Amino acid sequence: MTDAALALHINGQSRRFASVPDAERLLDTLRWRAGLKGTKEGCRTGDCGACTVLVGGEPTLSCLLLSREVGDEPVTTIEGVAAVPIGQAVIKAFAEAGAVQCGYCTPGFVVALAAQLGRSKSPPDVESLVDGLEGNLCRCTGYRAIERAVALARKAVQ
């Protein structure tokens, strides 16, 4: 295993990190090197979705991706999603629907839903959007509040 400099494009900014191990996960680079603590570590196995970020605009589990595998693709974290109108609408919908309890899973849900809503001029139906979140797990809400948040977010971005 070697350490070398790494350049990433994160939330619209070019970032350069010195001495990054080849085997470092994107999750760790984001949290500990870039200081972006909104992306959460839940399982380290790709099962919970708490670490979801966008890589090249696609929802990606940052616990399963090595930082060096990102290449030139832009990375967007919850902090970046929260800075754009679709992300703000999703965050507002989660708050209004009471879909945030402990909040640990919320960044992953918000990132994944914002990506789905941003893909087309006409968002898919609520059921399809909910199905698109199936890789994100919540241990607190029972999912009904999250489903309400999805419906509110969809309506807000139409």
pLDDT digits (tens, 9 = 90+) for 42-56: 999 999 999 999 999
Banded model confidence at residue 100, pLDDT cuts 50, 70, 90: very high
Q: Residue 37 sits in which domain range?
A: 1-158
Banded model confidence at residue 77, pLDDT cuts 50, 70, 90: very high
146 neighbors 109 (Cβ within 8 angstroms) = yes
Q: State the CATH number of the domain containing residue 122.
A: 3.10.20.30
Cβ partners under 8 Å of residue 131, min gap 6:
none
| Predicted confidence (pLDDT) at residue 99 exceeds the cutoff of 80 | yes
Spatial separation of the C-alpha atoms in residues 133 and 32, rounded to whole Å: 26
Q: Which of 27, 38, 47 is nearest to 138 (CA)?
A: 47
> For 75, left (φ over 0), alpha (ψ -120 to 50), or beta?
beta
Sheet strand arrangement including 74-76: 13-21, 3-10, 74-76, 52-55, 58-61
What is the pTM assigned to this prediction? 0.95
**pLDDT of res. 158:** 86
For the chain, how many structural domains are there in total?
A: 1
Q: Give 81-86 contacts, CB < 8 A, sequence gap 24+.
A: 81/54, 81/110, 81/111, 81/114, 82/38, 82/110, 83/11, 84/114, 85/157, 86/114, 86/117, 86/118, 86/157
pLDDT tens sequence across 145-155: 999 999 999 99
| Predicted confidence (pLDDT) at residue 117 exceeds the cutoff of 90 | yes
Residue identified by tokens 């969809």 is: 154
